[in-house]
Chain A
Amino acid sequence: MNALPASSRFTETPAVRRKLRQEALAKWIFCAMAAAMVVPLLLIVGYLVVRAAPSLNLEFLLEVPKRGMTEGGIWPALIGTLYLVFISLAVSAPIGILAAVYLNEYARDNWFNRVINLAVINLAGVPSIVHALFGLGAFVYAARFGYSIISASLTLAIMTLPVIIASTREALASVPRSFREACWNVGATRWQTIKAIVLPNSISGILTGVILQVSRAAGETAPVMFTGVVFFKSVERGDLLPYYLNEQCMALSMHLYTISTQVPGVQPSIPFATAVVLLALVVIVNATAISLRVYLRSRKKW
Chain B
Amino acid sequence: MVTMAATANHIEVRDLRLSYGMKEVIHGISFDVRQHEILGVIGPAQSGKSSLLRCLNRTIDFTPDTHVSGTIEVDGEDVRKTGNVYALRRKIGMVAPLPVGLPLSIYDNVAFAPRCAGLNRKSDLDTIVEQCLRQAALWDEVKDRLDSLGTKLSGGQQQRLTIARALSHEPEILCLDEFSIAIDPVTTMRIEDVLKELRRHMTIVLVTNLTQQARRLADRTMFMWKGEIVELDTTDVIFSEKPKDQRTRDYVEGIFG
Where the two chains meet, the residues of A that have a C-beta atom closer than 8 Å to any C-beta of B are 108-109, 178-189, 192, 196-197, 200-201, 301-302
Contacts and interface: CB of A to CB of B under 8 A. Distances in A.
A186 B104 contact: no
21 contacts: A108-B64, A178-B100, A179-B100, A181-B100, A182-B100, A182-B102, A182-B162, A185-B94, A185-B96, A185-B166, A186-B93, A186-B116, A186-B169, A188-B86, A189-B86, A196-B102, A196-B104, A197-B102, A200-B103, A301-B151, A302-B103
B96 A301 contact: no
B59 A178 contact: no
B149 interface: yes
A162 to B, nearest CB: 24
B112 A185 contact: no
Contacts of A182: 96, 100, 102, 162, 165
A241 to B, nearest CB: 42
Given A178-B98, A192-B116, A185 B59 contact: yes
B162 A181 contact: no
B134 to A, nearest CB: 18
B45 interface: no
B117 interface: yes
Contacts of B96: 178, 181-182, 185
B149 A301 contact: yes
Among B112, B149, B151, the most chain A Cβ lie within 10 Å of the Cβ of: B112
Given A196-B104, A302-B103, A186 B113 contact: yes
A196 B112 contact: yes
B151 A302 contact: yes
Contacts of A183: 102, 112, 116
Given A178-B100, A189-B116, A109 B65 contact: yes
A186 B165 contact: yes
Contact of B168 (A179, A184, A186, A201): A186
Interface of B: 57, 59, 62, 64-65, 86-90, 93-94, 96, 98, 100-104, 112-113, 116-117, 149, 151, 162, 165-166, 168-169
A239 to B, nearest CB: 47
Contact of A181 (B62, B112, B149, B151): B62
B103 A185 contact: no
A187 B90 contact: yes
A201 B101 CA distance: 14
Contacts of A201: 103
A186 B90 contact: yes
B158 to A, nearest CB: 10
Contacts of B162: 182
A168 B90 CA distance: 31
A301 B113 CA distance: 20
Contacts of A185: 57, 59, 89, 94, 96, 166
Contacts of A197: 102-104
B103 A179 contact: yes
A244 B113 CA distance: 50
Contacts of B98: 178
7 cross-chain pairs, A with B, having the tightest CB-CB distances, nearest first: A301-B103, A186-B113, A187-B89, A302-B151, A187-B90, A185-B94, A182-B100
Given A186-B165, A201-B103, A302-B103, 14 more contacts: A109-B65, A181-B100, A182-B96, A182-B162, A182-B165, A183-B112, A186-B94, A186-B112, A186-B116, A188-B86, A188-B112, A188-B116, A189-B86, A301-B151
A187 B117 contact: yes
A178 B94 CA distance: 13
A185 B57 CA distance: 8
Contacts of B169: 186-187
A187 B165 contact: no
Nearest to A186: B113
A183 B94 CA distance: 10
Nearest to B62: A184
B64 A109 contact: yes
Contacts of A196: 102, 104, 112
A242 B58 CA distance: 59
Contacts of A301: 103, 149, 151
B234 to A, nearest CB: 29
A185 B116 CA distance: 12
Contacts of B151: 301-302
A184 B65 contact: no
A189 B90 CA distance: 12
A181 B165 CA distance: 13
A200 B151 CA distance: 15
A120 to B, nearest CB: 19
A196 B113 CA distance: 11
Contacts of A184: 59, 62, 89
A184 B93 CA distance: 11
Contacts of A179: 100, 102-103
B113 A188 contact: yes
